């Protein structure tokens, strides 16, 4: 339940909504009364998000790397009150020596993480400016503040760029009543990719990871969703350009 937040009458767009963190964010906003647009490139799995939201959200297939598609979705949806860019990830890649990384590998991760964040913010900004208010929340990563557990150079760099983008856009859009912030999750067991990472660590590796976390547990999608709903709320109206680490304590 969302006891503190009421988003009735607001339209919330969540990218990367087909699973894990994005799905939980959709579920929480629906529970708080928002009209939720759940967007993801994986149209089939989006149906599971709709079911998790009790049929209350609207599923839209979207490739966030396609600028024209992003702008077309916003044109069809209408003005958005809250944008949560949760799309991203490692695009199926694993850590490898930098000498063998191809241009396509590098650019693909930047396209879905950083480029996607920019295209989405660019598309929703005019409607938010017209209203004189808005909230943009970018889901970055602890990898953008430190070192990536995956060892993927492009992922760490792209997430650092998202954090810098939130800071820059917060400064640019503040005069229009729009806040822009970033949530940087620690290790979250949220989807098949992170489950594979968790299992690949083995018991010893899992124990070592838990020893680095003050609360001695991996995160859950709900931990991130709580932070997002706060940043999107009226209570966070004088917070912008910030990054909040939600990592169990380091």
From edge to edge, which strands make up the β-sheet containing 35-40? 58-61, 35-40, 11-15, 82-85, 134-139, 178-185, 243-246
- What is the pLDDT, as a whole number, of residue 3? 53
Catalytic residue among 7, 119, 155, 187: 155
Q: What is the 3-state secondary structure (H, E, C) of 142-208?
A: HHHCCCCCCCCHHHHHHHHHHHHHHHHHHHHHHHHCEEEEEEEECCECCCHHHHHHHHHHHHHHHHH
Give the span between the Cα atoms of 116 and 71, in whole angstroms.
11
Residues of the chain with pLDDT under 70: 1-3, 91, 93, 194, 198-199
Of how many residues is the chain composed?
Answer: 250
- Tell me which CATH code domain 11-191+221-238 carries: 3.40.50.720
What pLDDT shows up at residue 148? 77
| Closest C-alpha among 54, 63, 61 to residue 26 | 54
pLDDT in the model for residue 217: 86
The reported pTM is 0.93
Residue 169 phi/psi, 5° resolution?
-70, -30
pLDDT digits (tens, 9 = 90+) for 9-41: 999 999 999 999 999 999 999 999 999 999 999
Where exactly are the structural domains of the chain? 11-191+221-238
What pLDDT sits at residue 1? 46
Tell me how far apart the terminal alpha carbons of the chain are, to the nearest angstrom: 28
Task: Please report the pLDDT score of residue 120 as a whole number.
Answer: 98
Residue 155 annotated to the active site: yes
Question: CA-based diameter of the chain, in Å?
Answer: 54
């Amino acid at each position: 339940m969302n006891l503190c937040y009421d988003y009735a009458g607001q339209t919330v767009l969540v990218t990367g909504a087909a699973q894990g963190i994005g799905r939980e964010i959709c579920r929480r906003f629906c529970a708080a009364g928002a009209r939720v647009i759940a967007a993801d490139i994986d149209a089939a799995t989006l149906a599971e998000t709709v079911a998790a939201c009790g049929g209350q959200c609207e599923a839209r297939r979207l490739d966030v790397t396609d600028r024209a598609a992003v702008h077309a979705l916003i044109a069809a949806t209408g003005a958005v009150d809250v944008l949560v860019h949760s799309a991203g990830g490692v695009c199926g890649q694993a850590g490898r020596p930098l000498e063998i990384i191809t241009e396509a590998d590098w650019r693909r991760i930047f396209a879905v993480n950083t480029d996607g964040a920019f295209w989405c913010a660019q598309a929703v900004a005019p409607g938010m400016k017209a209203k004189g208010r808005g909230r943009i929340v970018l889901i970055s990563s602890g990898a953008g503040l430190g070192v990536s557990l995956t060892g993927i150079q492009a992922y760490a760099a792209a997430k650092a760029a998202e954090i810098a983008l939130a800071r820059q856009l917060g400064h640019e859009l503040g005069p229009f009543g729009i806040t822009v912030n970033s949530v940087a999750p620690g290790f979250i067991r949220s989807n098949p990719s992170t489950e594979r990472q968790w299992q690949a660590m083995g018991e010893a590796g899992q124990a070592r990871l838990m020893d680095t976390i003050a609360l001695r547990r991996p995160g859950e999608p709900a931990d991130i969703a709580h932070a997002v709903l706060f940043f999107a709320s009226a209570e966070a109206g004088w917070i912008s350009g910030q990054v909040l680490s939600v990592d169990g304590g380091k």
